[in-house]
């Protein structure tokens, strides 16, 4: 049975406690952690096991992620071995804080802004 095309989507509000640098910038590892969460769900859905993340082939940071953003992470199986799955990941910013208009103001980002993309390999028993 082909698992290629199987997709998982997670959305998350980026809390201000995740700001790591000046200007409320969030470090790149935050998106990678979300990719790991999406990969775990993907493995559960495809193989009935949490699986293990073996590594990344590529990681590209396209745009910053800030505290107050809402991000959408997508994981898609693009390759399948006997126990391995090649997964493409994206992290898009779908909403962004607008502090110039007020402390709780925010905007929908349309179209969503690609912040991070990656390709990784997961292994299942």
- pLDDT beyond 90 at 109: yes
The domains of the chain, with CATH numbers, are 7-123 (3.10.129.10)
What percent of the chain clears pLDDT 70, i.e. is strictly above it? 100
Q: How far apart are CA 6 and CA 15, in angstroms?
A: 29
**pLDDT at 111 exceeding the cut of 90:** yes
Q: What is the pTM of this model?
A: 0.94
C-beta atoms surrounding 3 within 10 Å:
14
Banded pLDDT at 52 (limits 50, 70, 90) = very high
Beta strand ranges found along the chain (DSSP E) = 7-13, 19-21, 25-26, 52-61, 70-80, 84-97, 106-123
């Amino acid at each position: 049975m082909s698992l290629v095309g199987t997709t998982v989507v997670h959305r998350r509000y980026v809390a201000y406690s995740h700001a790591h640098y000046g200007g409320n910038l969030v470090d790149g590892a935050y998106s990678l952690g979300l990719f790991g969460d999406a990969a775990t769900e993907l493995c559960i859905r495809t193989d009935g096991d949490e699986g293990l993340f073996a590594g990344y082939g590529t990681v590209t940071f396209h745009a910053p992620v800030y505290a107050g953003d809402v991000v959408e992470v997508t994981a898609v199986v693009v390759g399948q071995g006997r126990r391995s799955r090649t997964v493409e990941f994206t992290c898009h910013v779908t909403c962004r804080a607008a502090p110039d208009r007020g402390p709780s103001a925010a905007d929908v980002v349309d179209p969503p802004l690609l912040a991070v993309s990656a390709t990784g390999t997961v292994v299942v028993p």
